[in-house]
Amino acid sequence: MILNSLSLLNFRNYHNLDFEPSSAINIFFGFNAQGKTNLLESIYYLATTHSHRSNKDQELLRWGSQYLHLKGCIFRNNRKLELEINFQESGEKIIKVAGIKKTRLPDYLGSLSVVLFSPEDLKIVKGSPKERRRLLDIEISQISTNYINLLIQYQKTLGQRNNLLKSFKEKRLDIDQLEIWDSQLIKTGSKILAKRFEIIKKLSSLAKINHLKISAGKEKLEIKYLSSFHVKPDFSVEEIENSFNSRLKELRREELNRGSTLIGPHRDDLVFYINNIDVKLFGSQGQQRTTALSIKLAEVDLMYGEIGEYPVLLLDDVLSELDSLRRHYLLSAVRKKVQTFVTTTNLEFIDQELLAEAKIFRIDEGELIPH
Ligand SMILES: Nc1ncnc2c1ncn2[C@@H]1O[C@H](COP(=O)(O)OP(=O)(O)O)[C@@H](O)[C@H]1O
Ligand SMILES: [Mg+2]
């Protein structure tokens, strides 16, 4: 899919920007703090309705502005589609597809798919489980509307169940009430797990291919799912439910004592292995970076496999963090296939050949200057 045009009004340090990206590679260069990441953030926001670096949409409002407006024309499945997001200082957010207001997030998401690769992602192996779950959830949400619904439902159930567990001691509530929430949690949680297993299997084999190539055939990468209770990747939803249920029963007392839900997809993690060795514990920094790179490229391939089109790729300042071998691999893997937006402080990180194909802009205090 292609982002054909983008307009920003009062987004971060952009006052009023209209531009037409190339369907191949777009390069934004400039000094620090000029708005390079802000621009990629706007594309990410248009795709997901969330910023990747702030939970408060108010922070996205250009200082002194009461509203922001984003508009993008995309081309997918041979169709043009207009996406819009309007956010007001009061917190009101209006999302539209083809001029029609959408009140449910799943009706909006998945129109524009993106994969973002930033320096933080290079730390995905070492980072917290939460970041790894986030990577997985964002990827799956972009290919499955049903998965977004499950996540929303699961979060709600989890919140309510935790409240109940917390209030248990004082109020001496009936255990039956808790069991209603248990069955909700198990039902949605097990479906989430089954979907994660399905996707991890694909992601792992795609990442493995990339990793083998980057490591000149020397390293076999595997991604495994680490669940908070006993499950196997080939379990049916029913088998997952049974296992989830019996473990919850075992943990009943402990959960009541601690006032929170101790198992489920919100407690799970991913583990990476190279030649059967845990990369987090024993991998070199280079291996950890290659793992991150292999996974990001696998995300791009996975989306292609699932939705039949490549996502838009956002590469924020990662070129300077990669050595020339990995840089070259990354850029040649997506060249002429994936619409790519690259930010960099230095054009020297990019091959002449690629520069010749690219649309290049200098970013200076929220202004794009064609190069
Ligand atoms: N809401 C906002 N309104 C106006 N300017 C902002 C806002 N948020 C951040 N900025 C400015 O944007 C700049 C950072 O932009 P950024 O895209 O992160 O830089 P870089 O080009 O290094 O990637 C900072 O100078 C900051 O002052
Ligand atoms: Mg930046």
Task: Flag whether pLDDT at 171 surpasses 90.
Answer: no
Distance from residue 13's CA to the centre of ligand 2 (Å): 13
Rg (CA), the chain: 22
CATH code of 292's domain: 1.20.1050.90
Distance from residue 267's CA to the centre of ligand 2 (Å): 31
Residues 311-355: pLDDT tens digits? 999 999 999 999 999 999 999 999 999 999 999 999 999 999 999
How far is residue 340's CA from residue 300's CA, in Å, rounded to a whole number? 11
Distance from residue 287's CA to the centre of ligand 2 (Å): 24
Task: At 369, give phi and psi (nearest 5°).
Answer: -120, 115
Q: Which domain holds residue 250?
A: 122-308
* Cβ < 5 A residues, ion ligand 2: 36-37
Residue 185 belongs to what H/E stretch? Answer: helix 175-214
Provide the token pair at 286. Answer: 């280079």
Provide the token pair at 74. Answer: 């995309």
Is the CB of residue 124 less than 8 Å from the CB of residue 135?
yes
Task: Flag whether pLDDT at 174 surpasses 90.
Answer: no
Same domain flag for 85 and 25: yes
Residues 218-245: pLDDT tens digits? 999 999 999 999 999 999 999 999 999 9
Same domain flag for 145 and 171: yes
| Percent of all residues in the chain with a pLDDT value above 70, rounded to a whole number | 99
Neighbours of 127 (CB within 10 A): 16
Ligand 1 binding pocket includes 37 (Cβ within 6 Å): yes
Q: How many domains does the chain have?
A: 2
Residues 245-277: pLDDT tens digits? 999 999 999 999 999 999 999 999 999 999 999
Class of residue 26 by CB neighbours under 10 A (exposed 0-12, middle 13-18, buried 19+): buried
CATH code of 354's domain: 3.40.50.300
Mean pLDDT rounded to a whole number for the chain: 95
pTM for this structure? Answer: 0.95
Q: Whose CA is nearest to atom 9 of ligand 1?
A: 12
Q: Identify any residues that bridge with 202 across adjacent strands, giving them in sequence order.
A: none
Q: How far is CA 287 from CA 116, 128, 221, 273, 281, in A?
A: 20, 18, 10, 10, 11
How far is residue 280's CA from residue 296's CA, in Å, rounded to a whole number? 17
Same domain flag for 276 and 128: yes
